[in-house]
Amino acid sequence: MSAPVIRCVGLARWYGEVQGLSGLTVDVSPGVVGLLGPNGSGKTTLMRLLTGLARPTRGHAELFGTRVSPDQWAVFRRVGYAPGDDVHFESERGSDFLALMARVAGDGPMAARARARAALEKVGMEELATKKLSTMSKGMRQRIKVAQALLLEPELLLLDEPLNGMDPVSRRKTINLVRAHGAAGGTVLFSSHILHEVESVTDRMLLLHHGRLLAEGRLSEIVGLLERKPRRVQISSGSRREIAAALLQEDYVSGVSFGDDSQLLLETRDLNRLLDRLQAYGGAGQIESMEIADENLESVFDTLVGSAV
Amino acid sequence: MSFSPQVLAVQAYSFRRRMLSWKALPALMVALVPTFMALVFRFFAPHEQGGTPTPYRMYGEILAPMCLYFVLPFLSMLVMLPILGELYEKGAIAYLLTRPAPRWVPLLGLYSGGLLALLPLAVLCATLPALILSPISGGVELRFWLQRVVFLSLVLWIGAAPYGALCLFLGVWSRKAVLWALALLIGWGSIAGSITGPLRALSPHRYLFGLLRNWLDLSNTLGQFSVPDPDPPGTLLSLLVLAGYVLAFLVLAYQAIRTRDVL
């Protein structure tokens, strides 16, 4: 079996008394992986540790089997990194900045220009290439950052909150780029604190909270972690009072509440048994509609984070 | 594998960033201070009275040492300190440090670009006062003026090399780089290097002053900006010591760039 693209072994980073990342052990294989967590959860710290921009307090990280360190710069030929920080090469034009990045990577002047043009085309910015970065909108600079990450056609993309500040069209374009990179066999670590952003690019994810890995895997696997957590089902029924009274007798129903009109919200620790029971009511024509609220990724995250706090 | 094209690419960027933007203005203002003084001297000094130095002496014995004492440290700070410090503060250094190139490549490129940006400032600093003072210098031949202008430019630029490398190191190593730079460039540089005592031998300023004396043909006597050196260094020794400092500070900056976190 080949080595994972990213490997973290007990990776930890403290900023004085503050924990940035706590003993993260994880392997990432090719494909798109979402790195999800609220602000301050350790996403950017992880990105910086993976790129050698910060040193771990404990543990280590590997990219393509190479231990990350300032001296292992050759591995960056295979890595494209878009930092969360703004570009801040204000005096440069978009194309000049990209050409500079390509030249520092070893391209000659002509090759660097060609590479910059190709990267700008990928993010749909070829017509704005001569604009200075200082005069670009936040969304445009975000696209320049993504173009910079794509510049060397790397196998691994590390994108730190790349959709921040992008307009809907740019977001769609970037999401498609990320998906295409994963579909072509590449690896993308895509960080965001917004669930639907991650959901739009992948169903594989790492959930970080307070520097700890809260959950890892596919969305469906993560949902499986909720088996023992309260789940919510919302039904609409003209007989909601009778149904609520009957269900409150069951040990697997932990709560009921009444919503607007005919809505009834049920909370359970055993979703399957509740669904079986509701099926019986449905068969009798007593339930007009039903929605399992907890199938939404947002609620998965909320539940996991809530349990960790 | 040669990294010189990479270094040159960063050097061009560094030069553009320091020279072709409003950021060059503060350094330009500092470089023009001797010009302002020359103007004051030309138009307001009572030349007809005894005791007033001739324009040629004013340039060599007052303006030139003053450039070393005050202009050079501030020019070095204004141009070289932000080169890395600013990139670190804004996190933008991350783009350069995640390229497939050793970290000394951006370091050397940024340093040499900054040093290049200091060259026109040094020339300006030395030339404009001479242009103002030479027309009233009486019998002093133009070639002597030219000689002084060229050598003062050169000493200033050579001086910017160790001080610039020191600023580069401080920009990476310390988040209070300005304070450190002020202390070291003025304290260890200008002051320690011009007064008697054991620190004098270690200060780059002593060797820069050595070059100034040798090349501008200044006397090793007590003057307004000159404390006599009992054992004045020769040109070769001065150049070697200054080159050693450049190397030492660049090595320190490289160590700092390898170990400082980008946060």
Substitution target from A15, A104, A113 for chain B, most B beta carbons within 10 A: A104
DSSP per-residue codes, chain A: -PPPSEEEEEEEEEETTEEEEEEEEEEE-SEEEEEE--TTSSHHHHHHHHTTSS--SEEEEEETTEEP-TT-GGGGGGEEEE-SS----TTSBHHHHHHHHHHHTT--HHHHHHHHHHHHHHTT-GGGTTSBGGGS-HHHHHHHHHHHHHTT--SEEEEESTTTT--HHHHHHHHHHHHHHHHTT-EEEEEES-HHHHHHH-SEEEEEETTEEEEEEEHHHHHHGGGGS-EEEEEE-TTHHHHHHHHTTSTTEEEEEE-STTEEEEEES-HHHHHHHHHHHHHTT--SEEEEGGGSHHHHHHHHHHHH-
Q: Is A83 left (phi over 0), alpha (psi -120 to 50) or beta?
A: beta
- Condensed to tens digits (0 to 9), the pLDDT of residues B112-141 reads 999 999 999 999 999 999 999 988 877 778
Contact state of A73 with B5 under an 8 Å Cβ cutoff:
no
Q: Which chain B residue is nearest to residue A49, measuring alpha carbons?
A: B261
CA distance B168 to B114: 10
Per-residue confidence (pLDDT) for residue A209, from 0 to 100: 85
Q: State percent of chain A over pLDDT 70.
A: 91
Beta-bridge partner residues of A213: A208
In the predicted structure, residue A137 carries a pLDDT above the cut 50: yes
Residue range A248-270: average pLDDT? Answer: 84
The closest CB to that of A48, out of B13, B258, B262, belongs to B262
In the predicted structure, residue A306 carries a pLDDT above the cut 80: no
In the predicted structure, residue A308 carries a pLDDT above the cut 60: no
- Condensed to tens digits (0 to 9), the pLDDT of residues A143-172 reads 999 999 999 999 999 999 999 878 778 888
| Stretch among A242-251, A288-297, B1-10, B75-84 having the lowest mean pLDDT | A288-297
**A303 — pLDDT class (breaks 50, 70, 90):** low
- Condensed to tens digits (0 to 9), the pLDDT of residues A277-295 reads 887 887 777 877 777 665 5
- Condensed to tens digits (0 to 9), the pLDDT of residues A26-38 reads 999 999 999 988 8
Contact state of B95 with A83 under an 8 Å Cβ cutoff:
yes
Per-residue confidence (pLDDT) for residue A309, from 0 to 100: 45
Per-residue confidence (pLDDT) for residue B42, from 0 to 100: 87
How far is B93 from chain A, CA to nearest CA, in Å?
9
- Condensed to tens digits (0 to 9), the pLDDT of residues B84-113 reads 888 888 888 999 999 999 999 999 999 999
**A302 — pLDDT class (breaks 50, 70, 90):** low
Contact state of A106 with B101 under an 8 Å Cβ cutoff:
yes
Contact state of B98 with A152 under an 8 Å Cβ cutoff:
no
- Between CA A24 and CA A29, with CA A27 as vertex, the angle to 5 degrees is 150
Residue range A99-125: average pLDDT? Answer: 94
In the predicted structure, residue B31 carries a pLDDT above the cut 80: yes
Q: Give chain A's domains with CATH numbers.
A: 6-223 (3.40.50.300), 231-308 (3.30.70)
In the predicted structure, residue A272 carries a pLDDT above the cut 90: no
pTM of the entire structure? 0.83
The mean predicted confidence, pLDDT, of chain A is: 86
- Condensed to tens digits (0 to 9), the pLDDT of residues A169-227 reads 888 899 999 999 999 999 999 999 887 788 889 989 899 888 888 888 887 677 666 55
Contact state of A81 with B94 under an 8 Å Cβ cutoff:
yes
**A241 — pLDDT class (breaks 50, 70, 90):** confident
In the predicted structure, residue B163 carries a pLDDT above the cut 50: yes
The closest CB to that of B90, out of A75, A77, A85, belongs to A85
In terms of C-beta density within 10 A (0-12 exposed, 13-18 middle, 19 or more buried), how is residue B111 classed? Answer: buried
Residue range A135-145: average pLDDT? Answer: 89
Q: Is B143 left (phi over 0), alpha (psi -120 to 50) or beta?
A: alpha
Per-residue confidence (pLDDT) for residue A40, from 0 to 100: 86
Per-residue confidence (pLDDT) for residue B91, from 0 to 100: 84
For the beta sheet containing A212-218, the strands, ordered from the edge strand earlier in sequence to the opposite edge, are A79-82, A156-160, A187-192, A31-36, A204-209, A212-218
Of A112 and A221, the one with more pLDDT:
A112
Contact state of B105 with A51 under an 8 Å Cβ cutoff:
no
In the predicted structure, residue A275 carries a pLDDT above the cut 90: no
Name every chain B residue with its beta carbon within 8 A of the beta carbon of A71: 102, 258
Tokens representing residue B13 in the block: 């960027």
The closest CB to that of B263, out of A54, A74, A108, belongs to A54
Q: What are phi and psi of A40, to 5 degrees?
A: 85, 10
The closest CB to that of B9, out of A51, A92, A103, belongs to A103
In the predicted structure, residue A276 carries a pLDDT above the cut 90: no
In the predicted structure, residue A126 carries a pLDDT above the cut 80: yes
Count Cβ–Cβ pairs < 8 Å, chain A vs chain B: 95
| Residue the block writes with tokens 């660049």 | B250
Residue range A74-80: average pLDDT? Answer: 95
Contact state of B20 with A15 under an 8 Å Cβ cutoff:
no
| Stretch among A8-12, A263-267, A292-296 having the lowest mean pLDDT | A292-296
In the predicted structure, residue A264 carries a pLDDT above the cut 50: yes
Per-residue confidence (pLDDT) for residue B220, from 0 to 100: 73
Q: Is A149 left (phi over 0), alpha (psi -120 to 50) or beta?
A: alpha
Per-residue confidence (pLDDT) for residue B196, from 0 to 100: 80
In the predicted structure, residue B59 carries a pLDDT above the cut 50: yes
Q: State percent of chain B over pLDDT 70.
A: 96
